[in-house]
Amino acid sequence: MSPVPEPVGTLEVALKHAGSLLDSQPDLARQQAEEILKVAPNHPLAELFIGIAQRRLGDTGASLQTLRGLAARQPSWAPAHYELGVTLGAMGHGEQAVPALRHAVRLKPDIGDAWRLLGDHLRAMDDLAGADMAYANHIKVSTRDPRLLAPASALCENRIPEAEALLRRHLRQFPTDVAAIRMFAEVAARLGRLVDAENLLARCLELAPSFTAARQNYALVLHRLNKTTEALAEIDRLLATDPRNPASRSLKAAVLNRLGEYEQSLALYAEVLAEYPKQAKIWMSYGHALKTAGQQARSIEAYRRSIDLTPQLGEAYWSLANLKTFRFTAEDIAAMRARLADDGLAAEDRYHFHFALGKALEDARDFGASFTHYAEGNRLRRDAAPYSAGRTTAAVKRSRALFTEEFFASREGCGARDHDPIFVVGLPRAGSTLVEQILASHSRVEGTMELPDVPAIVHSLASGDEHDAPARYPGVVAKLRADELRALGERYLAQTRIQRKTMAPHFIDKMPNNWAHVGLIHLMLPNARIIDARRHPLSCCFSGFKQHFARGQHFTYDLADIGRYYRDYVELMAHFDVVLPGRIHRVIYERMVEDTETEVRRLLEYCGLPFEDACLRFYENDRAVRTASSEQVRRPIYRESVEQWRNFEPWLEPLKSALGPVLDAYPEAPPV
């Protein structure tokens, strides 16, 4: 069938008039188009106007019927398929909208709004790569400045170095070109320079506050930077003008989950899933939120639904394994092995299957096969996330050299004086979640999560013009005045306030890696409590090796690396025991297991809290828990985990060697 015929004479005038009425008077536009069809039956443009008018009048069912019929009769006419996609999206049929929009841009690649809407749906469906490509095409076809066509094409084709060079050159000459600034921010984001992307997009919106596409980018970058409060504000601004936008609603669900607003997050996920019911990754995200909220049975159902939709999604299997209390069936194990036999399996799915199989076979007491899968999963993960043990060791040496008794004495009285925070530091899988759950069961303490705020402050201190930014820290701390240290403490308290949902006077920050920043924490928050959660080095390190962390803990993917990391941690904490005697309270996991009440009383005394029986019944606390141990701390302390590492001792020699004297000295530290 041929495309739309060229109208002539009075028909052309009538069509033009109908089109001009669509925005302001859609009912009149529909009537005009219906009159046209009486004299020109089946005229495609008149039918298109009717479908658009019906949608704008709120009759999406009629619009869908009109546009579906039109698209079927006009398979090669892009506007019909684009408008069909718009109507499907407006009706909450996001999955069906995607093929209609894809068809539209295949027929006519320069429909900018089709690319943008396609990107919104793909982002809501968690297809981030597809969304990025759609948005890049939107930038390309929406660019009217011929000078930006070349960098737009390079960005669209993922030729990032070329796009970066062209945009730098253009912005030197035209520094306020908001289209170019937005494109440059996209380049920075793809290169992982999220702070640069944030600054560029902030500038873009300063120049053009109504630049919606830039605000969408800005909200996503803020979320990736863990600036959840700021991200939520930008998302709400977007939703105020486009409340049904699928990408904004999906992102808001993720942000609310991170903020601990679980009821709202779960409701939004359910709403998004009603529109995208066949999207495995959304079901998986929904499962994560349910798990955090303590709804294990429903989280398992969500993970199972994800697997049913996409059997090769290794992360869904790992999510089940990561519940810790879940047990795979023989059929599950066979299915995972079959997937690993597929040479075409993506690397990300492959390492998730290895970690999940490691857990399944450990539960089945096939320890040799279990270790093989754990080791292979870690090898694949380390290839994608390299780690420098030497950099951590060097940072510890710099901290020991700077943070002396004299250094702290000369800064006595600095920092914000608030007593609110309780920091729990150490290595992941050392029992910090148990400590948090015990404390959060006290009436005067609120549990939050592993807060990113101290690392963010460290990053801001370390950034500068120097090429080796990490080497600036902690040396840069020596340059901070008393008022600056107080301002950092106040900044931390202000940023974390959104995580506090109760009136409890104390809250917990359980970011384990903050052990590396104890010196800074003491200076900016001298009255905060600092608890070091420590577990037997072989038990702790191997537990970390078995755990696939979604982000950040790159030292866990090699037994020698994690052993050296543990050794560095013990060395620095021993240093602080000397220069800040009594400042840090240490909880030894094995002692907590053997004599829980004594250790809980010691812990509460250190925190200045009266004893409460609820702290011994921590497993009755139904608060949300956002770590890998979430299900384990919802039951009484169990002793079998203490010696689990012994099942794998034949394979742990590299770990023992890396730990060195730390292993023999435990629970004490070897002489520094």
pLDDT at 185 over 60: yes
State both tokens at 335.
């299915």
Decide if 548 is inside a domain.
yes
Amino acid letter for position 355: F
Q: 171, 163 in Cβ contact below 8 A?
A: no
Lowest mean pLDDT: which of 143-147, 149-153, 265-269?
143-147
CATH number, position 27: 1.25.40.10
Decide if 544 is inside a domain.
yes
Average pLDDT on 95-124 reads 93
**What digits encode the pLDDT tens for the residues 466-520?**
444 556 899 999 999 999 999 999 999 999 998 888 899 999 999 999 999 999 9
CA 25 remoteness from chain centre: 44
Decide if 378 is inside a domain.
no
Decide if 39 is inside a domain.
yes
What is the reported pLDDT for 640?
A: 62
Cα separation of 266 and 262, whole Å? 6
Q: How many CB atoms lie within 10 A of CB 274?
A: 11
Between residues 130 and 403, the one the model is more confident about: 403
Average pLDDT on 227-253 reads 93
Strongest mean pLDDT among 166-175, 298-307, 490-499, 631-640: 298-307
What's the whole-number average pLDDT of the chain? 90
Count: domains in the chain: 2
**What digits encode the pLDDT tens for the residues 628-647?**
444 444 455 656 667 889 99
Name the residue range of residue 91's domain.
1-108
End of a domain among 48, 75, 108?
108
Decide if 613 is inside a domain.
yes
Cα separation of 579 and 576, whole Å? 5
CA atoms within a 13 Å half-sphere pointing along the CA-CB vector of 91: 19
Q: Which single residue is written with the structure tokens 């009149």?
A: 28
Decide if 192 is inside a domain.
no
pLDDT at 527 over 90: yes
End of a domain among 85, 108, 131?
108
User: 423 — phi, psi (to 5°)?
Assistant: -95, 130
Decide if 5 is inside a domain.
yes
SS3 for 509?
Answer: strand
Confidence of residue 619 (pLDDT cuts 50, 70, 90): confident
Decide if 323 is inside a domain.
no
End of a domain among 82, 108, 134?
108
What is the reported pLDDT for 395?
A: 94
CATH number, position 588: 3.40.50.300
What is the reported pLDDT for 139?
A: 82
